[in-house]
Amino acid sequence: MPEFSIGPEGYIKKIRGSISGLPPQERQEIEGGRVPESALVGRNQALEHWLQEVDKKPVLGERQKQIISLAENALGDFEWKYGVRAPAPSVYYLTEERWKGLMKYCPGNEENSGFFDVDNNCIFIRLTKKHQNNLDLIDFLDTNLHERLHQQAFRAVQAWGEGLDLVREGLDTVNVRKGKRYFSDFDEGIISYFSGRMTENVVDTNKFLFKKELERDQLRRGSFSGDLEEAIFRMKKNDFAYRFSVDVIRKLIKSLSYLRGGRPQDVEEIEKIFINAEFKGNLLDLGKEVAKLYGKGGLRVLAHLNEKNSGLVQGFLRAKGLATQRRYAEKILPPEEFERYKKLMVESGEEVESEIDQKSWRHKYNTGEHGTKDYRQKNIDDRRFSRL
């Protein structure tokens, strides 16, 4: 997870270890959800001093360095294609022992394989035993790409007040005053989806560098023919740390692209909308696209995605009518958020839409009775919001 994109409880927990020497008034401000500049300065100075010592001790092997170079090239292509720009971060690769030392300054990341520290524009990657022993360098590649994408999403960061009260990074949004957080796991799903796609492309175009991993992967699937060139690597569900979030993103991209025709270029257009939201802060276009299927309140539902309610969110995405969507939304959203959801739906005129008419249109779409794309577009235009 990004270091400073969390709500007050976790946010305070992460810096509490570096504020013991602060005046009582400033400690009280932190406990109340405010982060004075002096707290961050003290923590950052201590961390910087520690990193100067760590940086003098190289721990990477030649194969790992090759993979880092490939990751840099893939990120360069991504930046060029989508117009994403961000200052280059400092990246630190830490052994398990050094990772424990880092937790003195960045508590709360003990189990993470990596994270991005917005305040210092630093990426920290934990070298697990598998990484150090060259047992799973595909995972090493994906971790590098995942954290670099988090870093590139910093363009959407906004702050207010004294100190660094971060309220947004990518799509991950925090209201520090109210102690509420939105889009956290949805954001992770987007990052994981695109880092996974990039990992697949890098591996497939550099198969001999990942020969051991590919052979092991193909043997595990029982599909290895002995010809490495024939092997096609695809990330499996369990390869993702946030697999429940990735499932939602995949479903959403598939449904939204199918609404446009389902062609490869339609998928690419929808992916670009997600990229612009995550890396450029353009949430409006994503909201409009989601509304075509799930109404104006749809994005509000997705903002509350988490591991516990992911099954309900999947049900919401599969729902075949407004009434069913609303029932799922009521289970997913807190009461006050559900009231806002209903208000959005009423204001957009969606609550009066006939469920029977909605199911009829969906049946025509799913069975191909809609005919041409022009017919489908006419139906979209005839309704304020259309759904699969």
How confident is the model over 221-267, as pLDDT tens digits?
A: 544 445 556 666 777 766 777 889 999 999 999 999 999 999 999 99
pLDDT, position 245? 94
Q: Which residue has the higher pLDDT, 117 or 161?
A: 117
- Quick one: tokens of 288? 């409009």
Global pTM? Answer: 0.78
Tell me which of 132 and 301 has the higher pLDDT. 301
Q: Give the largest CA-CA distance in the chain.
A: 71
Query: How high is the pLDDT of residue 383?
Result: 34
- Ranking 48-52, 139-143, 239-243, 338-342 by mean pLDDT, the lowest is 239-243
Is the model's pLDDT at 21 over the cut of 60? no
> Residue 34 above 60 pLDDT?
no
Q: Pick the more confident residue, 387 or 225.
A: 225
Mean pLDDT of 181-191: 94
pLDDT of residue 348: 74
Of the listed ranges 185-189, 232-236, 318-322, 373-377, the least confidently predicted one is 373-377
The residue ranges of DSSP E strands in 89-157, in sequence order, are 90-95, 114-117, 122-127
**Is residue 26 within 8 Å of residue 50, measured between CB atoms?**
no
Reply yes or no on whether the pLDDT at 36 is more than 60: no
- CA distances 199 to 7, 67, 144, 294, Å, are 30, 11, 10, 31
**Residue 254 CB-density burial (10 A; 0-12 exposed, 13-18 middle, 19+ buried):** middle
- Residue 223, helix vs strand vs coil: coil
> Higher pLDDT residue, 245 or 155?
245
The reported pLDDT for the residue numbered 202 is: 94
pLDDT at position 353 is 47
Q: How far apart are CA 124 and CA 110, in angstroms?
A: 12
What was the pLDDT predicted at 370? 39
- 172-175 β-sheet, strand order: 158-160, 165-169, 172-175, 180-182
- pLDDT over threshold 50, residue 157: yes
Of 10-24, 125-139, 145-159, minimum mean pLDDT range: 10-24
Identify the band that residue 208 occupies on the pLDDT scale cut at 50, 70 and 90.
confident
Chain center to CA of 53: 32
pLDDT value for 120: 83
Average pLDDT, the chain: 77
